[in-house]
Amino acid sequence: MVQKAKILLVDDRPENLLALEAILSALDQTLVRASSGEEALKALLTDDFAVILLDVQMPGMDGFETAAHIKRRERTRDIPIIFLTAINHGPHHTFRGYAAGAVDYISKPFDPWVLRAKVSVFVELYMKNCQLREQASLLRLQLESGGHSGRTGVLEPQEPAGLLAELSARLAAVEEQAEALSKQLDESADAAAVATAAHLERKLTGLRRALDALEPGAGSGASPVPSQS
């Protein structure tokens, strides 16, 4: 089962963290506080996060430096970062945020609804990725056991063909959800979110091809997955 996603909130001002928690509480996910860049990096050592909301202006290690550390780590480099800033130094400042690896850059005071909507997109993408990893792990486990053990508590097929059909059906459900999400993102025109969705769809395509290759007579009857160009 996919658990709640974790969202990392990084700001040196407690009142700002309280405001973010109030805005994002409606998403019903796990909100984790960090009051400095160092504290954020420590949290990222042990937990996986769907998205990071990172304040730019912090004493000591600022948001740009924190983001640079996050992007250098193999474990955390793909986590979306949304920069939050109370000041606007113009295009150069904004460009520095994107160059540091941010997927979005929002000036305070921000519209709570807009921030919540942006975060919810990345939470949903994270959930889809978790589902995909579950399906891939299940496939690997069943293939290693030869598809006959029936002791995983998840699948109990009598024949390899039954196993493949069950896995294919489960993958199809994830594909359908991902396709619906992609259509939603086309309307939002958020380039970063669309790119993340495309990455998820490429992973789904790879898993589908792996399943199709195991089907009897593979090569002629593979069911294609729509790709996003």
Q: Which residue in the block uniquely carries the two structure tokens 């001002």?
A: 13
User: CA dihedral in degrees (18, 19, 24, 29; nearest 10)?
Assistant: -10
Look at residues 218, 200, 217 and name the one whose alpha carbon lies nearest to residue 209.
Answer: 218
* Contact by Cβ (8 Å): 31, 52: no
Which one is predicted more confidently, 179 or 61? 61
DSSP letters spanning 115-165: HHHHHHHHHHHHHHHHHHHHHHHHHHHHHHTTT----SSS---SSHHHHHH
Give CA–CA dist 141/145, Å, rounded: 6
What pLDDT sits at residue 41?
95
List the end-to-end C-alpha distance of the chain, in Å, as a whole number: 31
Identify the pLDDT of residue 176.
74
Q: Check whether 185 has a pLDDT greater than 80.
A: no
Q: What are the tokens at 226?
A: 């729509």
Residue 156 confidence (pLDDT): 47
**Mean pLDDT over the full length of the chain:** 77
Torsion angle, alpha carbons of 161, 167, 170, 176, to 10: -90
Q: Indicate whether 158 pLDDT > 60.
A: no
**Residues 93-130: b if buried by 16+ CB within 10 A, e if exposed:** bbebbeebbbbbbbeeebeeeebeebbbbbbbbbbbbb
| Higher pLDDT, residue 182 or 51 | 51
| Tens digit of each residue's pLDDT (9 = 90 or more) over 9-47 | 999 999 999 999 999 999 999 999 999 999 999 999 999
Residue 152 has pLDDT above 70, yes or no: no
Give the Cα separation of 92 and 226 in Å (integer): 38
Q: How confident is the model at residue 184 (pLDDT cuts 50, 70, 90)?
A: low
Give pLDDT tens digits for 84-136. Answer: 887 665 555 666 666 666 778 888 788 899 899 989 988 988 888 888 778 77
